[in-house]
Amino acid sequence: MDLAIETRALNKSFDSFKAIDELYLKVPAGSIFGLIGPNGAGKTTLIQMLTGIIRPDSGEAFILGHSIRERDGSIRNRVGYVPDVPVMYPNFTVAEMYRLGSKLYPFWDWERCRELQRGFRLLESQRIRNLSRGQKVQVALVMALALRPKLLLLDEPTAGLDPVVRRAFLQAIIEEVADQGTTVFYSSHNLNDLEQSADHIAAIFRGQMLFSHSLDRLKRSVHRLQLIFAKDTPVDKIRELSGLVDWQSSGRVVTITITGELNTINPRLAVLEPELIKELNLDLEGIFIAFMKSKGYYYGSEKWEVSTGQ
């Protein structure tokens, strides 16, 4: 498997705060790879280390086969980066930003630039300081694609975009992947966007990897099942189930979120002799929230318990 990004035991602390903690990550070339995690999980820190903006304390990271510690930074000519808050010269016009890009990047493609510019309908004569955050993100994306990237690093790109532009943004990325085989690595809190466009998902929490799977595999390996019992629910046995991520019970009904293949889970549940086992739909958001809850990250004082036998 060709890897566009690989990290090995990557570490980064800010003062005493461990932002990235022994992180291992593999991003296959040509994938649209979604990075999720709650606020403060280390997503931006990770992306900034990959771009070379900040340096890791220890560990290794490679982009397009080159170590991020390499002195020769020419590989970055093929990496497009859209930061969560785009930093651009406020007095430049949009057209001037593009001209700057064409001077900085040796593979700059004016035709691609104009095509995207037309698509997003940005005013070239507008000054950067008069643009909204969403418009700045669009300018940053046009530039990131016009430099003919082999790798796109996007940090929360769809936040602050209106639905029409968001859709156009996703479409531009998808066409880029279909036509050029570009690898896209993007962090987002919009799990619906990711569920639609990504083929791989990694979740990080407190700087550590929670899971990293293809989306298909993730969906096949996490299930939400409802069990209905004739009388008493065997709560103790349910809590001991290996792979249990989350469970809730009310009366005779128990809803569990559990990892594993369905055909191995079902026989283990059948032993508990429920009257009915029903699989409920579980989307990416549901998977994410269940995993977060199992790590103690949830809102309010909701009563819950979990076995950590993953």
- Contact footprint for another protein (CB under 8 A): 30-32, 167, 170-171, 174-175, 177-179, 192, 195-199, 215-216, 219-220, 223-224, 266-267, 270, 276-277, 279, 281-285
For the bound state, the minimum distance from the C-beta of residue 116 to another protein, rounded and expressed in Å, comes to 14
Token match 């950067």: residue?
128
For the bound state, the minimum distance from the C-beta of residue 79 to another protein, rounded and expressed in Å, comes to 20
Cβ atoms 241, 234 nearer than 8 A:
no
Q: Please work out, in degrees rounded to the nearest 5, the angle formed at the alpha carbon of residue 287 by the alpha carbons of 283 and 290.
A: 135
Reduce the DSSP state of residue 14 to 3 states and report it.
strand
Cβ proximity to another protein, 275 vs 305, nearer residue: 275
Cβ proximity to another protein, 170 vs 204, nearer residue: 170
For the bound state, the minimum distance from the C-beta of residue 280 to another protein, rounded and expressed in Å, comes to 8
Cβ proximity to another protein, 82 vs 191, nearer residue: 191
For the bound state, the minimum distance from the C-beta of residue 195 to another protein, rounded and expressed in Å, comes to 4
Cβ atoms 42, 207 nearer than 8 A:
yes
Token match 């059948």: residue?
270
Contacts of residue 197, Cβ cutoff 8 Å, sequence gap at least 6: 32, 34, 170, 173, 174
Cβ proximity to another protein, 144 vs 184, nearer residue: 184
Question: Could you say which DSSP state residue 111 is in?
Answer: H
For the bound state, the minimum distance from the C-beta of residue 150 to another protein, rounded and expressed in Å, comes to 16
Token match 């569990």: residue?
256
Cβ proximity to another protein, 70 vs 279, nearer residue: 279
